[in-house]
Structures are given as C-alpha cells and as structure tokens.
Structure 1
Amino acid sequence: MNTDFLGTGWGFPPTFDNATNKVAMSSDEADIQLSLQILLSTRKGERVMLPDYGCNLNEMLFEPMNTTFKSYISEMIRTAILYYEARIDLNSLLIDDSQDAEGIIIINISYTVRTTNSRFNFVYPFYKREGTELN
C-alpha cells in the first residue's frame, strides 16, 4: 500500500548523515508518532510562527494528582491533537497515575489513521521530576 500521503518530515531530534550530507527523515506512520511526541513535549509559545502549538504539560509539574488534574491534562491533549494532528482520529486517551509517587504519569493515546483506517497506540511518559539519580 502506498502511504506517501501520510507525509514525510525531518526526524527528531534532527540528525545528519555525514556520508550523504542529508537530513534523517521520518515518514508514514512513524512520522505521525514523531509528530505526537513533538506536540506533547512542546510548550505553547515555543514556536515563533505557531504560538498556540503545543500542550504546556510542563505547567502541570507541581499539581496534585486528582480527577481535576487528569481531566485538565486530557482536555489539553485532546485539543492539541484536534488542532495540530489532522491525520488521525483520537479513539481513547488514558492517563495512568499508578507511578505518581515516582514522578511519572503515563499518557496512552489510541488513534486511527484517517486515510488508512489503521489503529495505533502511542505511549508518552510525562516526568513530573526532572534530572537523573533523584531520590
């Protein structure tokens, strides 16, 4: 099946092949996964030409884990996907807070690619604590 219509873009983080002097590219379903990764990790205002692009998950770092918090995050992600990832239909969005004590929230996104009707899952770990070797 020809899936060129799903798009091709730079890989993230951008890497260059020294032998060919070309940028590493991402295409098809992998490009959608990479797009979701970038969308969830971008702060609003970070992109100069698209100031509303992103999710602002970083603002949620010190919020208490409760139903309001989980609903707010879900709505932020749903809105960002609706506006900035038109290639997919969101099937479900689950927020797993079972590792909240360790500072990790798992965001599980189930979606269908509109043009191929293929279903995929994307798991995004959101770390409420930053750094290495934290106790």
Structure 2
Amino acid sequence: MNTDTFLGEGWSFPPHFDKKTNQLVTTAGIADINKSLEILLSTRLGERIMRPDYGCNLEELLFQPLDVTLKTYIKELIETSILYYEPRIDTQSITLDTTNELNGEILIKIEYIVRITNSRANMVFPFYKNEGTEA
C-alpha cells in the first residue's frame, strides 16, 4: 500500500490546473497534511457554510497583547482544532517563535507524528497581520 495515498490526496489550495497536462494539481502525503493544517489555521469559525465549527479563529487575536496567557491560549486553540479536524496526526508540540513580534509576526511551529506511519514531521505557519487586515 502506498503510504502517500493512504495519508490522503486532495486538491491543491488554491485549486489550479497544470497547463501542460490539463489536470487538476493535487497534493498527497505529508504535503497534503501540511496544507490541511495551513487551511485549518487560516480559517475563521463560521467561514465554511457546511462546517461552521471548522477553523481556528486565530485572526480574532491579532491585536491582543502577546503575554503568557495569550500564548497559552493560542497553543490550546491550535491543539484542539487539530485534535478535531486532522485525524491523521498526533500533535507532539506547538511552539511560538515571537522573535519578530514587533513586526506583527509569530511563527507557529507544529511538530507531529503521522499515525499510520509513526513518522515525525513538522510545519511552520507564519501568523501575521496582513496590510489589508482591518482592526
């Protein structure tokens, strides 16, 4: 059994087509898991009509003071979202790199184990205030 296929294959996001083959571009394996995590972390609650409880709602925290309480809350929010919406992995750790916080950026590093293969992987999600983001 091909591990990448078992882990899942999905549309690339945003969806697009390969001009040479005229085929839909897809992702599989660890890349698919990382893309799924990226989508989960960047989705607001209520944004998906058929799944109003899907998402992480990190954007509501953009202008909060970055203290220990908020850092703990962000980690808990992410861990809970992954627990409910990414069943292919077990989260090992979530760390926040705040070295660039004065520029409005936090790097969220998620280390996880893929359940079916017991292999370790990680992804880094840049969480920051976009220029177009309203207060």
TM-score normalised according to structure 2 size: 0.92
SS at match of 2:34: helix
Task: Show the counterpart of 1:65.
Answer: 66
Task: Show the counterpart of 2:95.
Answer: 94
Give distance in 1, aligned partners of 2:94 and 2:21.
40
Q: How does 1:37-56 map to 2 (within 5 A)?
A: 37-56=38-57
Task: Show the counterpart of 1:17.
Answer: 18
SS at match of 2:80: helix
Task: Show the counterpart of 2:37.
Answer: 36
In structure 1, runs of 5+ residues without a counterpart are: none
Cα deviation for residue 63 of structure 1 reads 0.3
Cα deviation for residue 13 of structure 1 reads 1.1
- The alignment's C-alpha RMSD in Å is 1.4
Cα deviation for residue 20 of structure 1 reads 3.4
Cα deviation for residue 21 of structure 1 reads 3.1
Task: Show the counterpart of 2:28.
Answer: 27
Task: Show the counterpart of 1:79.
Answer: 80
Cα deviation for residue 19 of structure 1 reads 4.0
SS at match of 2:56: coil
Give distance in 2, aligned partners of 1:90 and 1:53.
18
Q: When the two structures are aligned, how many residues end up with a matched partner?
A: 131
What do the CA deviations read for 1:17-41 (whole angstroms, capped 9, x no partner)? 2443321111111110110010001
Cα deviation for residue 126 of structure 1 reads 0.4
What is the one-letter code of the residue matched to 2:118?
Answer: N
SS at match of 1:115: coil
What is the one-letter code of the residue matched to 2:59?
Answer: N
Give distance in 1, aligned partners of 2:32 and 2:2.
15
Give distance in 1, aligned partners of 2:80 and 2:45.
13
SS at match of 2:53: coil
TM-score normalised according to structure 1 size: 0.92
Q: How does 1:108-123 map to 2 (within 5 A)?
A: 108-123=109-124
Task: Show the counterpart of 2:131.
Answer: 131
